Amino acid sequence: MIVENNQYSVLDSVSIGICIIDKDYIVQFWNEYMEEYTGFSKNEIQQKLLFDVFPAFQNKIYEARINNIFIGWPPVIFSSRLHTPFFLSKDIYNTKRYQDIIITPVFSADNNINSALITINDVTDLTEKLEEQKKLYLKSQEELNAKTEIQERLIRSEKQLKDLNATKDKFFSLIAHDLISPFNIILGYSDMLAKSVHDNDYNEIEEFSQLIYSATKRTHSLLVNLLDWSRLQTGRISFNPVVVNVLDVINENINLSKSSANQKEIEINVDIKHGLIVIADINMLNTIFRNLISNAIKYTPLNGSITISAFYNSKSEFEFSIRDTGLGIKADDIGKIFSIDVNFSTIGTANESGTGLGLMLCKEFIERHKGKIWVESKINEGSNFKFIIPSQIT
């Protein structure tokens, strides 16, 4: 069917593109907007295959949908925001235009569908505005995320400051009480020792010397822990994991505590296979065992026992245990013993004082090895301090 030019001349005055094709995709009409939009005049395109000039319509999926129009299906809608643009201009600068296209059946006088009307609406400006709004939205989201990150950093900084203040308060508490107190004891017994020497009272000389030695040893241990703690907090402790013979480290620390154990007639048992090797920082490992063994002796009564064991468990971890037959820990107090912000310490079975700093050091050093420490304890049944270190440390 050939469409007369004057049949649809009114369509030349509308501000959207309109063309009409027959069932064979032959162009029957091409309005003036289409001429301006595509650069193809009516004379160039009428009575030619639409495919020849605009091959996008030849896509089998699109063609099938258009063909359905001629058998009575509803109008078809295409958008070049979702599909490849259908109508391209001769002008290469217009090839990125966005279009909304509606293809509608045209009914003849006998109610047959012999042609289809294609309307094209350029939505490039709208699309670009939407893209611009999208970019602005993404930018605002980035700015919001940046502000959120800053707030989170401020919260973390505030927490770090609180932790630092807690650490500072802990140090002041230690210096004020746990350092001054033993020095007062040493000074007092030194004065009494001097008088006993003057009086040649050898029994008192021996007793006071032993008391001075015990107080000095506890003070020295506290000073070592304080030094390690301060270096840890200021980042001046390096982490150097090496191959360590577990039995050698434990025996060395048992020897350091042997005199304290002997005074309370405490038996120390070791249940570790010869040749057990762990990858660990030797200095940190020594600090861990020194404090845990000293702690066990402190809370174990006369004629008690301590058992130290180590083995390679089923989770590819080295598991250590320091079990004593001492006083035990209340269930409510277990959560306090590894915390810096709670000044928790109890008197030993021979009235030994403590700061709790040793256990906190143990926790810090074990966690530096990617491990963890915990305690199982019951009042008057003793405590079992356990910790694990992974076989592979990163």
How many domains does the structure of the chain reveal? 3
Nearest to residue 363, comparing CAs of 391, 334, 392?
334
Task: Supply the pLDDT for residue 3.
Answer: 47
Q: Which residue has the tokens 């008057």?
A: 380
Contacts (Cβ under 8 Å, ≥6 apart) of 7: 29
Contacts (Cβ under 8 Å, ≥6 apart) of 25: 49, 50, 51, 57
d(CA 372, CA 132): 52
Same domain, 83 and 141: no
pLDDT in tens, 290-338: 989 988 998 999 999 999 999 988 788 899 999 999 989 888 888 888 8
pLDDT in tens, 104-138: 998 888 888 989 999 988 887 777 787 788 888 88
Average pLDDT, the chain: 82
Q: Report strand pairing: 305-312 vs 267-271.
A: parallel
- Domain containing residue 243: CATH number: 3.30.565.10
Task: Supply the pLDDT for residue 235.
Answer: 72
The last residue of a domain, from among 186, 218, 237: 237
Same domain, 91 and 132: no
Same domain, 369 and 225: no
What Rg, from alpha-carbon coordinates, does the chain have?
A: 44
pLDDT in tens, 166-214: 766 766 665 665 566 667 777 777 888 888 777 777 777 877 787 777 7
Same domain, 213 and 142: yes
Same domain, 371 and 248: yes
| Band of pLDDT at residue 155, cut at 50, 70 and 90 | very high
For residue 232, the enclosing domain spans: 125-237
Same domain, 99 and 152: no
**Which residues in the chain belong to E strands, given as ranges?**
17-22, 27-30, 76-79, 99-107, 113-122, 241-245, 267-271, 277-281, 305-312, 317-324, 372-378, 382-390
pLDDT in tens, 1-50: 444 455 667 788 888 999 999 999 999 999 999 898 888 899 899 999 98
Burial of 359 (0-12, 13-18, 19+ CB in 10 A): buried
Same domain, 85 and 118: yes
Task: Supply the pLDDT for residue 321.
Answer: 96
- Domain containing residue 9: CATH number: 3.30.450.20
pLDDT in tens, 64-111: 888 898 988 889 888 876 666 677 655 555 556 778 889 999 888 888
d(CA 168, CA 180): 17
For the question of whether the overall pTM of this predicted structure is more than 0.75, the answer is no
pLDDT in tens, 345-382: 666 665 665 556 788 889 989 999 999 999 999 998 99
**Using an 8 Å Cβ cutoff, are 358 and 225 in contact?**
yes
